[in-house]
Structure 1
Amino acid sequence: MSGNALLKSVCRAMERIAPLRLAEKWDNVGLLLWDLSRIESPTQCSGRDRVLLTIDLTTSVLSEAIAKETSVIVAYHPTIFKGLQSLTLANPLQKSLLTCAAEGISVYSPHTSLDSVWGGINDWLAQGLLANPQDGDIEPLVGQKLHPTTGEAEGAEGRLVTLSQPIDIRELERRIKSHLKLAHLQVGYAEQSEDVAPLRGVRSIAICAGSGGSMLLGKQADVYFTGEMSHHEVLAAVAAGRNVILCGHTNTERGYLTILAERLKKELGSQESKDEGVSSDVEVLVSQKDQHPLQIV
């Protein structure tokens, strides 16, 4: 199959899964790196019908992509976030980008569009808190994002889970550990004062994948659940009577990659993709080298 057909189909399939218009204004999403020579000479990509999914494009993930003869990397976090004034092999990130270009590997990033879209990362986090689908309601935390033509809601920033019945915070911690397959969490318990009534169990949880301090602070919820918050954001939250549960930035995102792989494989197997010349033999792989950069020792 031509690299041109696969790359175009991956971009179109990802757009159907997580429209780039849902990304935050500050974000840098979409096709960030591609090899024009391979697009213009499709035969050069013959036999490399593999797409690799990762949270971060680290040197280990890049080595894995090369070893597996990957044609396209879908890296959740943008490999290029701010404008580059120069490119040098002395910088590890820039070296990875230059290596991708030399190897003919294209890089696509969905980032916050995949957070916001219905059925995306924030919904996946929210669903993991429910004992069953009838156990509570999942709503947008911040205003809905509407389709520019139809006006239908396509997604929203963050999620608010309201449980049907309150649960002990220890049970919530257990559910989060189980859902994210983690042995440990960081938890800040709410300060109690005359102005803040003691919590009689947890009923509402505000959610933001990744780094959620700026989005969560000030929201009405018993618990703030995110990957990371700054020291002063945590202090402000617990002083306001909110419990805080932190899991590590990428730990709130990585588990979704297996779901994304299934959705992308299905989209690439659609009739639309077949009409674009995409082979039914395209492999969509989840990186085995992608991991949280910090370890608990």
Structure 2
Amino acid sequence: MSASTTIAPFSNAAVRAMRRLYPQALADSSWDNTGLLLEAPFVSSRRLSNTILLTIDLTKAVADEAIARQSSIVIAYHPIIFRGLKSLTLANSQQHTLLRLASHGISVYSPHTAVDAAPGGLGDWLADIVTGTKTSYVGEDSDTDTTSRTSKKTDDDPFVEKRPPVYTLHRHPSQTTLRLSKTPSPTTTTVPHTRCPIVPQSPELASHPGAGMGRIVTFSQPQPLPTLLDRIGKGMNNPKGFPIAIPQNASISDLSISSVGICAGSGGSLLANLDVDLLFTGEMSHHEALAAIEKGQVVISLFHSNSERGFLSEVLRGQLEEVMDEEWKKVREEESGKEEYKEALTEEDFEIVVSEVDRDPYGIVILKAEAE
């Protein structure tokens, strides 16, 4: 078995497609680490499937899933490598994951903040949710308690005891349960508003005008806070709850929102100095939230990766399918004369799947009255 010095043709097409959709020039390179983080060499005698696995976090469980699927490449939103490595050993869990994937010929690409900044990316997806313009996605069993899907394997769950429980652990619904409705819900209307990046891209990319980090949404008319909470809950596929901070001596029913600052993931630093009514993010520290409500602002946080995960199935998968149609065709034409790629180029079809095991590390424990 001999390995080439190039990536598998299908993985190459996936990388090209991601760079078209989310150029690395849009990422915040001052701290972020985006792009092709693991380039597994192509081995002609080892056939992987033409499958792209999408995930937010590249964990051991996700790596197991990619290996079981024989995926050619994992697109992990969060980079598994942030800083320079002085070694690659099995003792480190993340390095272990990378070594295992490399041994199976599976590459890893991470777009991260390029997705945050791009028009039509994560920032706009969250802005669509708060303005009611989000494409409608309906869960297969949206009225069913999510614990029916998450509590089947409880032996390794530290929240589950062997006596009758006085609580249940609710996790954010798996995004693999969503299906696309081709038309928006008839009860959803677009709320008139304007939006712009918090930090515009500079210099602007001609291919991606309007890019930039975060979003500011300004409504034409103030929106009742309970209405926004309803939109956010539905947009997040009805989680069992999420944190909210409001000014002291105020009540949710009394508050109206004219402007919203938006940042996926951890938004404390980007949102800190905004003069808006509501800060909508995945994560904010205690003191950052306290400072915000002291200024009269409202804070909504969704748990870090739950502000990002739905984007994979609701937006990225469809975008990537469309561009991959073009890029895979181009790669197959460009490499058609190379004998080492002959078998790898025979399969025209491909599949893009969202991880079934990727999830935020946090769930919500809901206490019950203890049985007498």
- The TM-score, its normalising length taken from structure 2, stands at 0.73
Aligned residues: 285
Q: What amino acid does structure 2 have at the position aligned with 1:55?
A: I
Q: How does 1:183-194 map to 2 (within 5 A)?
A: 183-191=240-248
Indicate which of 190, 199, 223 corresponds to 1:133: 190
* Structure 1 contact 3–71 (Cα < 8 Å) conserved: no
Structure-2 separation of matches of 1:30 and 1:117: 15
Does structure 1 residue 268 correspond to structure 2 residue 327? no
What is the CA deviation profile of residues 28-65 of structure 1, one whole-angstrom value per residue up to 9, with x for unaligned ones?
000000112x1xx4x23535211100000111111111
1:2-52 Cα offsets, whole Å, 9 max, x none, are 96221211111001111110000210000000112x1xx4x2353521110
Between the aligned partners of 1:151 and 1:79, the Cα distance in structure 2 is 28
What amino acid maps onto 2:359 in structure 1? Q
Aligned match for 1:177, one of 219, 233, 247: 233
**Are 2:7 and 2:39, in contact at CA under 8 Å, matched by a contact in 1?**
no
Shift of 1:280: 3.5
In the other structure, the counterpart of 2:209 is 153
Where does residue 50 of structure 1 map in the other structure?
A: 51
Does the C-alpha gap of structure 1 residues 33 and 151 become closer, same or farther in structure 2, counting only changes over 3 Å?
A: closer
Q: Provide the secondary structure at the position in 2 that maps to 1:276.
A: helix
Of 143, 150, 169, the residue aligned with 2:200 is 143
Counterpart check, 1:288 vs 2:356: yes
* Counterpart pick for 2:14 among 2, 10, 13: 10
For residue 170 of structure 1, report the CA deviation from its aligned partner. Answer: 1.7
Looking at structure 2, the residues matched to 191 and 85 of structure 1 have their Cα atoms a distance apart, in angstroms, of 49
- Determine what percentage of the aligned residue pairs are the same residue: 41
Secondary structure of the corresponding residue to residue 153 of structure 1: coil
Note if 1:202 corresponds to 2:207: no
> Are the aligned partners of 2:53 and 2:66 in contact in 1 as well (CA < 8 Å)?
yes
Alignment of 1:163-174 (within 5 A): 163-174=219-230
**Structure 1 stretches lacking a partner, 5+ long:** 194-198
What secondary structure is seen at the aligned counterpart in 1 of 2:45?
Answer: helix
Aligned pairs for 1:215-226 within 5 A: 215-226=270-281
Aligned 8 A contact 1:145 1:153 in 2? no
Q: How far apart are the structure 1 equivalents of 2:129 and 2:309?
A: 14
Q: Determine if the alignment matches structure 1 residue 234 to structure 2 residue 289.
A: yes
Superposed CA RMSD in Å reads 2.0
The aligned amino acid for 2:37 is: L
Question: Match of 2:145?
Answer: none
| 1:134 CA drift (Å) | 4.6
Superposition TM-score, scaled by structure 1 size: 0.90
Contact kept? 1:3, 1:46, Cα under 8 Å: no
Work out whether 1:250 is the aligned partner of 2:305: yes
Distance (whole Å) between structure 2 residues aligned to residue 276 and residue 45 of structure 1: 19
What runs of 5+ residues in structure 2 fail to find an aligned partner? 1-5, 133-188, 333-344, 366-372
Structure 2 CA distance, aligned partners of 1:154 and 1:10?
25
Q: Select the structure of larger CA radius of gyration.
A: 2
Q: Where do 4+ consecutive residues of structure 1 move more than 2 Å?
A: 43-47, 131-135, 143-148, 150-154, 190-193
> Equivalences for 1:71-150 in 2 at 5 Å?
71-131=72-132, 132-147=189-204, 150=206
| Partner of residue 212 from structure 1, selected from 247, 257, 267 | 267
